[in-house]
Amino acid sequence: MFKNSRTDLAIEKDILDNSYELIVFNDLLDKVKIKKEIMKKIKHFIKIKNNKHIFIVGLGNENNTADSIGPNVIKKINVNSHLNDFGVKTKNKISALEPGVLGTTGINTKKIVESITKEIKPDLVIVIDSYITKDFKYLNKSIQITNKGITPGSGFSSKDDEISYNTLHIPVLVIGVATAIEIKKYSKNYIVSTKDIDKYVIDISNIISDALNTIFG
């Protein structure tokens, strides 16, 4: 999960520092347009080449709807890296992982991703996650893509370790979706999501997975 401060700052600075790309939409009616925009933003950060190994990681808690973007995307990724063992040629090798969350696995998420990355040696790691925003105009209406890395658990749960180029030593691309908002009321902080979050998570997960399958599959 993105840190709130980093996320909101990035939204305001995405064009200035060239390390964030933001996609904003009013609804999901034009799924093809949003898919194409995601593909365009990804290409802003990386040169798409064939015969590469792409490792896609879906962060989040499947039991928390607003935090389940990552796991839902992973379920729809067309993995094929295992086919190489049978001599099947593919455009790219695609591996995927849903590492769960620290509270249910008892294992540091970064350590899971790091150990598997060392074992399979991908050329690129793509991380998908939900994040908490402080601005209603981005809630269920934005996708943020960055090459700055991510700290799992810094939004909905406790702080974990960063997943980035600095820690994995290979390019890392993060796709974040604003699915909840932080609201302060009566000196208390509340994290809330919209009543249609179930449908939104399914729809946006389909769009993101379709974009990734199209680019790399």
Report the predicted TM-score, pTM, of the whole model to 2 decimal places.
0.88
Q: 6 pLDDT exceeds 80?
A: no
Q: Among candidates 142, 137, 151, which has minimal Cα distance to 59?
A: 151
Per DSSP, the three-state class of 53 is strand
Q: 126 pLDDT exceeds 80?
A: yes
Per-residue confidence band for 86, with pLDDT thresholds at 50, 70 and 90: confident
Q: Which pLDDT score is estimated for 153? A: 67
Q: 32 pLDDT exceeds 70?
A: yes
Q: Among candidates 142, 183, 180, which has minimal Cα distance to 10?
A: 142
Per-residue confidence band for 17, with pLDDT thresholds at 50, 70 and 90: low
Q: Among candidates 167, 194, 160, 168, which has minimal Cα distance to 179?
A: 194
Q: Which pLDDT score is estimated for 151? A: 85
Mean pLDDT check: name the lowest of 120-129, 182-191, 198-207.
Answer: 182-191
Q: Which pLDDT score is estimated for 20? A: 86
DSSP string for 5-25? HHHHHHHHHHHHHSSEEEEE-
Place of tokens 């680019």: 215
What structural domains does the chain harbor? Answer: 4-216 (3.40.50.1450)
Over residues 126-153, the mean pLDDT reads 91
CB 68 within 8 A of CB 62: yes
Mean pLDDT, rounded, of the chain: 87
Q: 155 pLDDT exceeds 60?
A: no
Rounded CA-CA distance 72/179 in Å is: 13
Q: 7 pLDDT exceeds 80?
A: no
Q: Among candidates 35, 14, 17, 54, which has minimal Cα distance to 173?
A: 54
Q: Which pLDDT score is estimated for 158? A: 44
CB 104 within 8 A of CB 64: no
CA dihedral 122, 124, 130, 136 (to 10 degrees): 180
Place of tokens 């839902």: 72
CB 47 within 8 A of CB 88: no
Q: Which pLDDT score is estimated for 33? A: 93
Mean pLDDT check: name the lowest of 19-28, 49-58, 122-131, 164-173.
Answer: 19-28
Rounded CA-CA distance 7/12 in Å is: 9
